[in-house]
Amino acid sequence: MRAAVLHEFGAVPRYEKFGRPVPGDGEVLVRVKAAALTQLSRWVSKDPDYARGREVPFVCGTEGIGELENGTRVSFGVPRGPYGAMAEYAVAPERLCTPIPGEIDDIAAAALMNPGLSGWSALSWGAKLQPGETVLVLGATGVAGRTAVQIAKLLGAGRVVAAGRNESVLRETGADTTILLGQEDAALAEDFRAQAGVDGYHVVLDYLWGRPAQVLLDSLPRTFLARKEIRYLQLGSSAGTEVSVHANVLRRAGVTLGAGSPPPIEFIQGLHSTVMTHAVRGEVRVETETVPLAEVAEAWRRESPGRRLVLVP
Helix (H) or strand (E) holding 93: strand 89-93
Q: Where are the domains of the chain?
A: 2-113+287-312, 128-258
pTM of the model: 0.91
- Which of these CATH numbers, 3.30.565.10, 3.20.20.70, 3.90.180.10, 3.10.20.30, describes 2-113+287-312? 3.90.180.10
Residue-wise pLDDT for 104-120, tens only, equals 999 999 999 999 999 99
Residues in the chain: 313
Q: Is 135:111 a contact under the CB 8 Å cutoff?
A: no
* Predicted local distance difference test score (pLDDT) of residue 65: 97
What's residue 53's pLDDT? 78
User: Please, which residues have CB within 8 angstroms of residue 296's CB and are 6 or more apart in sequence?
Assistant: 4, 13, 14, 15, 60, 86, 311
pLDDT in tens, 242-273: 999 888 887 777 888 888 678 888 888 889 88
Region 128-258: CATH code: 3.40.50.720
| CA 195 from centroid of its chain's CA atoms | 25
* pLDDT at residue 226 in the model: 57
pLDDT digits (tens, 9 = 90+) for 170-218: 888 999 999 999 999 999 999 999 999 888 999 999 999 999 999 999 9
